[in-house]
């Protein structure tokens, strides 16, 4: 087949004109009638064809399936031995063959891509009309090499039918015949009808694909999002070898929110772009997949990972990439990150379980030097054993299984017991005496925190009332949790208990961690203002482990800082901890706050703290937490404890 892309639209639209003519009127009339009937039937058939095709497209959504169906229908309907389906890539092309039937391998590869300028199909797309290529009509301008190849094996006529949706060109469907062939007006109509149905289906398929892309991707970074993560893991676990193996690293940027708030979202976005680039660079080296789970949280999936150690090593590499200084908005910034690590299938049968485990590890990583933590069952508060424990706790509280232990706080400069801290324990019928760390965090996640704290406060005040008869200035410290202060009716409950116990509110000290306050500072401020209004004091527990900013401290009705035991334990060997303790004591004093050193375990620490002017101390060195009768022994000795001078 030689080829020419006809520039004459009449060739299509006006071809096969002509009607009945000559003969006797009755005969002519009969012929006309027969012809009209045949035409009507043909039209009906064509309409039916287009209808059928449209209906079939309603079920098919992938563009490839639409292409295959179209090629199939056209080949059957037009008896064309060669049919090709092309879609336009981008606005300027080229046209890419999606499906072709009847072509040789060479023709397939020659015609795989057709330019918009320089091919009959391109012309059809540009001018939105059916273009005919036929032997003997040569116009080399629009001749593509594939036409030469087709004519070499005797193919003679081709029609390129454009696909358009609204104003948008989509591609072409080409039908090619071995003989010289005209195109009838009916065929033109049918081709146009088919083209309309196909175009609509393609446009629909693309819209669905776009929507799906949106649902599974994060717009600002272009990374697959949380839903994309679950889908990827589903595919990993559904197909391929079983059990599927994969490592998961969940990365969380440190201080990202703070940077976003102080330097603005533009800088925040620039940082994100750089972070994504670094994560992807590492991911390419392995290879691995990167996802954005939310704000400053990313997931890296390592398909085929064999061990937690291997995944943790990768996590450290990722963090070291991220920790390199970055330049944004003309500033040099350092942005740290933490990472939690988990492994499939060991730590979960599906993406949800796996992600939960990596999150548990991440939580721990925030407190781990180096910032990487591997999932361990002990970290997990939601193991079946813990859930069972939680379900027993409510009954335990009602049945009086809780007990309080009391640990004294010592005035370091003088050696007398200033007061006690109440620490809750659970006499579990099966498991024996449980320390607070085993069940308080569980209760904190549920409404049980309210009855638990209620019981602790009542019991602590009952004991204080007893001790106050002999030691009227003795104080009692009680731990509150975040849940308590976010509970708006909690201050009322507390007030009621204190009133009923008949103790002086000024002898009470409530301890809260920084993290508990920072979770929702505004609500915390309101609750704490009410709780301290009656003269009770407020202590910041585990000071130094949260993200306290001093500006918040000034706004809070804080009276005491309790320096976390990790600094005290580390003081003898870590000069940094010693410096932190020293400056905390100074800071507290300059803000006119009291300061307590927690976890004093030896004489040396006690002596150092005393020398630096620390007011109060608590720890095994002086006394362990103990039941009331035992704690009372210290009081029986006059309330004095040994303080090294
Ligand atoms: P916390 O308030 O910081 O309590 C101090 C913890 O350190 C206690 O652990 C205590 O037994 C322990 N400790 C005291 N001296 C030393 C020492 O010299 N060395 C070491 N290594 N540890 C020492 P415990 O009783 O297991 O309590 C752990 C945490 O549980 C408490 O930390 C507190 O945050 C929470 N908690 C305890 N009782 C309650 C309660 O009634 N309500 C609430 N909301 N939380 C409680
Ligand atoms: Mg405490
Ligand atoms: Mg503490």
Averaged confidence pLDDT in the chain: 86
Range with top average pLDDT, 227-241, 412-426, 512-526, 535-549 = 412-426
The reported pLDDT for the residue numbered 140 is 58
Given a cut of 80, whether residue 138 has pLDDT beyond it is no
Span 113-121, mean pLDDT?
92
Stretch(es) of the chain classified as CATH 3.30.450.40: 35-213
* C-beta of 436 in contact with ligand 1 (< 6 A): yes
Measured CA to CA, the distance from residue 154 to residue 82 in angstroms comes to 12
Q: What ligand is nearest to the CA atom of residue 485?
A: 1
Q: How confident is the model at residue 516 (pLDDT cuts 50, 70, 90)?
A: confident
For 422, phi and psi rounded to 5 degrees? -85, 125
Measured CA to CA, the distance from residue 498 to residue 5 in angstroms comes to 96
| Lowest-confidence region among 27-36, 52-61, 448-457 | 52-61
Residue 407 Cα: closest atom of ligand 1: 14
* C-beta of 409 in contact with ligand 1 (< 6 A): no
Distance 321 CA to ligand 1 centre (A): 38
Q: Which residue among 437, 451, 454, 479 has the greatest number of ligand 1 atoms within 8 angstroms of its CB, and so is best to mutate?
A: 479
Q: What ligand is nearest to the CA atom of residue 481?
A: 1
Span 366-383, mean pLDDT?
78
| Higher per-residue confidence, 554 vs 410 | 410
pLDDT in tens, 256-300: 888 888 888 888 888 999 999 999 999 998 889 999 998 899 999
Span 417-423, mean pLDDT?
97
The reported pLDDT for the residue numbered 141 is 64
Nearest CA to ligand 1 atom 41: 424
Work out the percent of the chain whose per-residue pLDDT is above 90.
49
pLDDT in tens, 66-86: 999 999 988 988 889 999 999
Given a cut of 90, whether residue 512 has pLDDT beyond it is yes
Given a cut of 60, whether residue 613 has pLDDT beyond it is yes
Given a cut of 70, whether residue 537 has pLDDT beyond it is yes
Contact at 8 Å (CB) between 252 and 245?
Answer: no
Distance 172 CA to ligand 1 centre (A): 75
Say how many CA atoms lie within 13 Å of 441 toward its Cβ: 11
Nearest CA to ligand 1 atom 45: 479
| Higher per-residue confidence, 606 vs 386 | 606
* C-beta of 449 in contact with ligand 1 (< 6 A): no
Given a cut of 70, whether residue 423 has pLDDT beyond it is yes
List the one residue out of 410, 412, 494 whose CA is nearest residue 450: 494
Measured CA to CA, the distance from residue 624 to residue 5 in angstroms comes to 96
pLDDT in tens, 490-499: 999 999 999 9
Span 215-221, mean pLDDT?
85
Given a cut of 90, whether residue 244 has pLDDT beyond it is no
* C-beta of 441 in contact with ligand 1 (< 6 A): no
- Residue ranges near ligand 3 (ion) with Cβ within 5 Å: 541-542, 598
Q: What ligand is nearest to the CA atom of residue 437?
A: 1
* C-beta of 187 in contact with ligand 1 (< 6 A): no
Distance 482 CA to ligand 3 centre (A): 14
Given a cut of 80, whether residue 454 has pLDDT beyond it is yes
Nearest CA to ligand 1 atom 34: 479
| Higher per-residue confidence, 547 vs 230 | 230
**What does the H/E/C string look like for 195-258?**
HHHHHHHHHHHHHHHHHHHHHHECCCCCCECHHHHHHHHHHHHHCCCCCCCEEEEEEEECCHHH
Euclidean distance between the first and the last CA atom of the chain, given in angstroms as a whole number: 109
Span 227-244, mean pLDDT?
78
Nearest CA to ligand 1 atom 21: 599
Residue 601 Cα: closest atom of ligand 1: 18
Given a cut of 90, whether residue 9 has pLDDT beyond it is no
For 105, phi and psi rounded to 5 degrees? -60, -40
The reported pLDDT for the residue numbered 382 is 64
Per DSSP bridges, beta strands 594-597 and 626-627 are: unpaired
CATH 3.30.9.10 assigned to domain 384-636? The reply is no
Given a cut of 50, whether residue 622 has pLDDT beyond it is yes
Distance 412 CA to ligand 2 centre (A): 18
Q: Which residue in this structure is represented by tokens 């410096």?
A: 579
Given a cut of 90, whether residue 556 has pLDDT beyond it is no
* C-beta of 544 in contact with ligand 1 (< 6 A): no
Residue 297 tokens, joined: 């949280």
Given a cut of 50, whether residue 31 has pLDDT beyond it is yes
The reported pLDDT for the residue numbered 7 is 42
| Higher per-residue confidence, 70 vs 3 | 70
- Residue ranges near ligand 2 (ion) with Cβ within 5 Å: 479, 511, 541
C-alpha pair distances (Å), 501 with each of 179, 459, 464, 473, 495? 106, 9, 9, 16, 10
Nearest CA to ligand 1 atom 6: 599
Nearest CA to ligand 1 atom 4: 423
The reported pLDDT for the residue numbered 60 is 65
- Provide the 10 A C-beta neighbour count for residue 566: 17
The reported pLDDT for the residue numbered 234 is 84
Q: Which residue among 401, 423, 477 has the greatest number of ligand 1 atoms within 8 angstroms of its CB, and so is best to mutate?
A: 423
Nearest CA to ligand 1 atom 15: 619
Given a cut of 80, whether residue 548 has pLDDT beyond it is no
CATH code assigned to 226-380: 3.30.70.270
| Lowest-confidence region among 55-64, 400-409, 451-460 | 55-64
| Lowest-confidence region among 34-48, 86-100, 289-303 | 34-48
The reported pLDDT for the residue numbered 381 is 62
Q: What ligand is nearest to the CA atom of residue 409?
A: 1
The residues, ordered by sequence, that sit 6+ positions from 535 with a Cβ below 8 Å of its Cβ are 504, 505, 506
Measured CA to CA, the distance from residue 293 to residue 236 in angstroms comes to 18
Distance 611 CA to ligand 3 centre (A): 22
The reported pLDDT for the residue numbered 77 is 85
The reported pLDDT for the residue numbered 78 is 85
Distance 91 CA to ligand 2 centre (A): 67
Residue 456 Cα: closest atom of ligand 1: 41
Nearest CA to ligand 1 atom 27: 436
Span 29-42, mean pLDDT?
85
Q: How confident is the model at residue 11 (pLDDT cuts 50, 70, 90)?
A: very low
* C-beta of 459 in contact with ligand 1 (< 6 A): no
Q: What ligand is nearest to the CA atom of residue 477?
A: 2
* C-beta of 601 in contact with ligand 1 (< 6 A): yes
Contact at 8 Å (CB) between 52 and 69?
Answer: no
CATH superfamily, domain 35-213, is GAF domain (3.30.450.40)
Nearest CA to ligand 1 atom 8: 423
The reported pLDDT for the residue numbered 499 is 96
Measured CA to CA, the distance from residue 476 to residue 420 in angstroms comes to 5
Stretch(es) of the chain classified as CATH 3.30.70.270: 226-380
The reported pLDDT for the residue numbered 383 is 66
Distance 450 CA to ligand 1 centre (A): 19
């Amino acid at each position: 087949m030689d080829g020419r892309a006809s520039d004459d639209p009449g060739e299509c639209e006006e071809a096969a004109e002509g009607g009945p003519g000559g003969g006797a009127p009755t005969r002519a009339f009969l012929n006309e009638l027969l012809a009209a009937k045949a035409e009507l039937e043909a039209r009906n058939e064509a309409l039916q064809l287009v209808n059928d095709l449209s209906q079939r497209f309603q079920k098919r959504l992938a563009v490839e399936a639409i292409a295959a169906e179209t090629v199939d229908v056209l080949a059957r309907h037009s008896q064309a031995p060669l049919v090709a389906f092309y879609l336009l890539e981008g606005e300027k092309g080229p046209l890419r063959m999606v499906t072709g039937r009847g072509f040789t391998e060479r023709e397939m590869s020659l015609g795989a891509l057709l330019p918009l300028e320089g091919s009959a199909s391109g012309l059809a797309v540009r001018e939105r009309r059916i273009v005919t290529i036929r032997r003997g009509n040569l116009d080399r301008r629009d001749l593509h090499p594939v036409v030469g190849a087709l004519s070499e094996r005797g193919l003679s006529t081709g029609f390129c039918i454009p696909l358009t949706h609204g104003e948008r060109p989509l591609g072409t469907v080409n039908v090619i015949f071995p003989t010289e062939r005209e195109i009838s007006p009916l065929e033109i109509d049918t081709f146009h009808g088919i083209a309309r149905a196909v175009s609509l289906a393609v446009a629909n398929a693309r819209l669905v694909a776009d929507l799906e892309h949106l649902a599974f991707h994060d717009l600002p970074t272009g990374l697959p999002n949380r839903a994309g993560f679950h889908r990827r893991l589903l595919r990993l676990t559904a197909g391929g070898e079983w059990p599927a193996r994969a490592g998961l690293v969940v990365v969380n940027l440190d201080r990202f929110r703070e940077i976003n708030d102080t330097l603005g979202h533009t800088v925040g976005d620039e940082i994100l772009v750089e972070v994504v680039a670094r994560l992807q660079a590492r991911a390419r080296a392995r290879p691995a997949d990167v996802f954005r789970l939310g704000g400053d949280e990313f997931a890296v999936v390592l398909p085929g990972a064999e061990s937690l150690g291997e995944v943790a090593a990768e996590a450290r590499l990722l963090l070291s990439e991220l920790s390199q200084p970055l330049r944004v908005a003309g500033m040099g910034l350092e942005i740290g990150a933490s990472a939690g690590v988990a492994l499939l299938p060991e730590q979960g049968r599906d993406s949800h379980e796996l992600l939960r485990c990596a999150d548990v590890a991440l939580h721990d990583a925030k407190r781990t030097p180096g910032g990487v933590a591997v999932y361990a069952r002990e970290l997990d508060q939601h193991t079946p054993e813990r859930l069972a424990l939680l379900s027993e706790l409510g009954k335990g509280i009602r049945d009086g299984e809780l007990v309080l232990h009391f640990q004294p706080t010592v005035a370091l400069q003088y050696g007398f017991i200033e007061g006690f801290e109440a620490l809750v324990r659970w006499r579990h019928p099966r498991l024996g005496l449980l320390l607070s760390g085993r069940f308080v965090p569980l209760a904190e996640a549920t409404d049980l925190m309210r009855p638990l704290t209620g019981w602790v406060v009542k019991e602590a005040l009952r004991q204080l009332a007893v001790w106050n008869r002999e030691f009227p200035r003795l104080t009692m410290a009680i731990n509150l949790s975040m849940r308590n202060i976010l509970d708006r009716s909690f201050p009322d409950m507390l007030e009621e208990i204190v009133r009923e116990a008949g103790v002086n509110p000024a002898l009470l000290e409530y301890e809260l961690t920084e993290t508990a306050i920072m979770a929702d500072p505004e609500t915390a401020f309101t609750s704490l203002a009410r709780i301290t209004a009656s003269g009770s004091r407020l202590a910041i527990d585990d000071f130094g482990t949260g993200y306290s900013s001093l500006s918040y401290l000034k706004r809070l009705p804080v009276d005491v800082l309790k320096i976390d035991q990790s600094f005290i334990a580390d003081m003898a060997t870590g000069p940094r901890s010693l410096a932190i303790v020293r400056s905390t004591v100074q800071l507290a004093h300059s803000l006119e706050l009291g300061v307590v050193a927690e976890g004093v375990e030896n004489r040396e620490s006690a002596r150092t703290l005393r020398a630096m002017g620390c007011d109060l101390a608590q720890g095994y060195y002086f006394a362990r937490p103990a039941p009331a009768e035992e704690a009372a022994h210290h009081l029986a000795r006059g309330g004095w404890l040994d303080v090294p001078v």
